[in-house]
Amino acid sequence: MKIIYIASGAANMYCGSCMHDNALAAALKAAGEDVSLFPLYTPMRLDEENVGERRIFYGGIKAYLLQKYPRPFFGRDLLLRVAGSQAILRLMPRFDIGSAVDPKANAEMTLSILKGEAGNQRELLQELVGWIKSTYKPDLIHITNTLLIGVAPEFKRSLQVPITCGLHGEDIFLEGMPQPYQQEALELIRDRARDVDRFLAISTYYADMFSKWVGLDRSKIDVVWPGIALDDYRNLSADASTSRPLTIGFLARFVPEKGLHLLVDAFISLVRSGEFPDLRLLAGGYLSRAYEAYLNGIRKTIKNNGLEDRIKLLGTLERLEKLDFFRQIDVFSVPATYREPKGISILEALASGVPVVQPEHGAYPEWVKATQGGLLHRPHDSLDLAQKLAFLLRNADLRKQMSGHAQQAAWEKFSSARMAAATLEVFRRLR
């Protein structure tokens, strides 16, 4: 099957959605399918082999300028040609482009993209459609999420092929849009959904929640659990050194909604209990300048409690560093304050044989139930989080038992190969 996969780049940030898209495209290719993965806006930053096409469509700078300057003026064409240069686009991952975003301008551009052929970026849509029509003859087009669903009507009209769309966590972005933009965005998504043949939700939780919130037909939604490429995890084993202290791990963006502040508060409670005298916390993740104040507040809390030598903020981890990180930890937690629909780093921890403690909301109850690889705590409650962490930290045999369950379930239920097979089941029903 010849598949066009429309994704979205995240510039210089490691992004769970980008990793999911790349892993799925790679697994579909490994299964013998002809897949072309096109990132929009910016290149993808990945810690695995990038299987996406080199050409970037809907270049982020040009899309922004078309929004800001929708009418012709002297020099506009030259400005747009320079902004659309592939060489410039490939430089974007070197810069922190998400540090200062005007919510109103961001919302207006989102609506324009959702309007597709009626939006200010219509020439970028025509460029993309024209390229696919002249270069490829796809059997199916898959769009990564509903924030890009504005392309669906023109794809359907011009290419006359089935169109599928993922549901991967758009709600956190949409909920951040000011009114009345948010309501208009939901209406546009609902309208554009008529040109989508099937939706593929990343969890049962998200299929139920998003369809109800937006007003999508739940019967048009299939659930395909996420998967990761497991080769690097197959022989991964924890550092069994007796000199290594018990260690809690965190790996996610350093933003409030990922809950690092809650984990630090829980860690302080554990230290004050006196039960774990050598306990450590290792926290890896991407930091945008927009959230430096948030992280500085956490640094102040760490310093005020005299824990600089026990809590290490590692920043962004590259592939080998990430694998080594999982070897060094005994328990993993990302106590997200929002209802996370996926949580790729949770699956990576489970595949590494590290038990998890996650909030009892979003997709986390699904993952914990499916793997028997961890515990759930009350959301937003650092004391309950501390109690659940303490229960695992003091029970080495239970951690070992959960580790075995987690790794076995990862191979059986959360591999990229299984994700690709389930995705292909949906695709083949549409041919």
Confidence tier at 72 by pLDDT (50, 70, 90): confident
Residue 105: pLDDT over 50: yes
Q: How far apart are CA 199 and CA 201, in angstroms?
A: 6
For residue 100, the model assigns a pLDDT of: 46
Query: 196, exposed or middle or buried, with CB in 10 Å at 0-12, 13-18, 19+?
Result: buried
Q: Mean per-residue pLDDT for 107-129?
A: 92
The one-character DSSP state at 246 is: P
pLDDT of 52: 72
Return the SS3 of 277: coil
In this structure, what token pair is assigned to residue 227?
């998967």
Q: How confident is the model at residue 86 (pLDDT cuts 50, 70, 90)?
A: low
Residues in Cβ contact with 310 at an 8 Å cutoff, skipping those fewer than 6 apart: 271, 279, 280, 281
In this predicted structure, the answer to whether residue 65 has a pLDDT above a threshold of 90 is no
| CATH match of 2-228+416-429 with 3.50.50.60 | no
Q: What does the buried/exposed string (b/e) look like for 29-48 if buried means 16 or more CB atoms within 10 Å of the residue's CB?
A: beeebebbbbbbbbbbbbbe
Spatial distance between the Cα atoms of 162 and 156, rounded to a whole number of angstroms: 7
Of 34, 41, 45, 65, nearest to 55 (Cα)?
Answer: 41
CA distance linking residue 316 with residue 235, whole number of Å = 23
The architecture of the domain spanning 231-413 is 3-Layer(aba) Sandwich (3.40)
Tell me the C-alpha distance between 277 and 110, whole Å.
50
What sign does the CA torsion over 401, 406, 411, 412 have? positive
Structure tokens at 245: 């202290």
Instruction: Tell me the C-alpha distance between 154 and 151, whole Å.
Output: 6
How do beta strands 374-377 and 311-315 pair?
A: unpaired
Q: For residue 169, give the nearest of 215, 220, 205, 222 by alpha carbon.
A: 205
| Segment 310-318 mean pLDDT | 92
Lowest mean pLDDT segment, chosen from 144-148, 266-270, 341-345: 341-345
Across 319-347, average pLDDT: 93
In this structure, are residues 214 and 145 in contact, taking their beta carbons and an 8 Å threshold?
Answer: no
Angle at 43 between CA 414 and CA 167, to 5 degrees: 40
Closest CA to 205 of 362, 376, 340: 362
The band of 238, judged by pLDDT with boundaries at 50, 70 and 90, is low
Task: Please say whether the beta carbons of 248 and 284 come within 8 A.
Answer: no
Whether 402 and 373 have beta carbons less than 8 Å apart is answered as yes
H or E segment and range at residue 428: helix 416-429
0.75 surpassed by pTM = yes
What is the rounded CA–CA span in Å between residue 255 and residue 136?
40
Position 14 scores a pLDDT of 66
Specify whether the CB–CB gap between 4 and 55 falls below 8 A: no
Residues of the chain with CATH 3.40.50.2000: 2-228+416-429, 231-413
Q: Position of tokens 């260690």?
A: 247
More confident residue, 219 or 172: 219
Q: Which two tokens stand for residue 425?
A: 């089941």
What is the predicted pLDDT for the residue at 85?
62
Interacting residues of 124 by C-beta distance below 8 A, sequence separation 6+ = 57, 58, 59, 62, 63, 66
335 within 8 A of 359, measured Cβ to Cβ: yes
Reduced to 3 states (helix: H, G, I; strand: E, B; else coil), residue 184 is: helix
Please check the confidence at residue 338 and state whether its pLDDT lies above 60: yes
Quote the CA–CA distance of 3 and 6 in Å, as a whole number.
10
Q: Residues 6 or more apart from 24 whose CB is under 8 A from it? A: 5, 227, 416, 419, 420, 423
SS3 332: strand
Q: What angle is formed at CA 171 by the lines to CA 288 and CA 211, rounded to 5 degrees?
A: 160
CA 195 to chain centre: 25
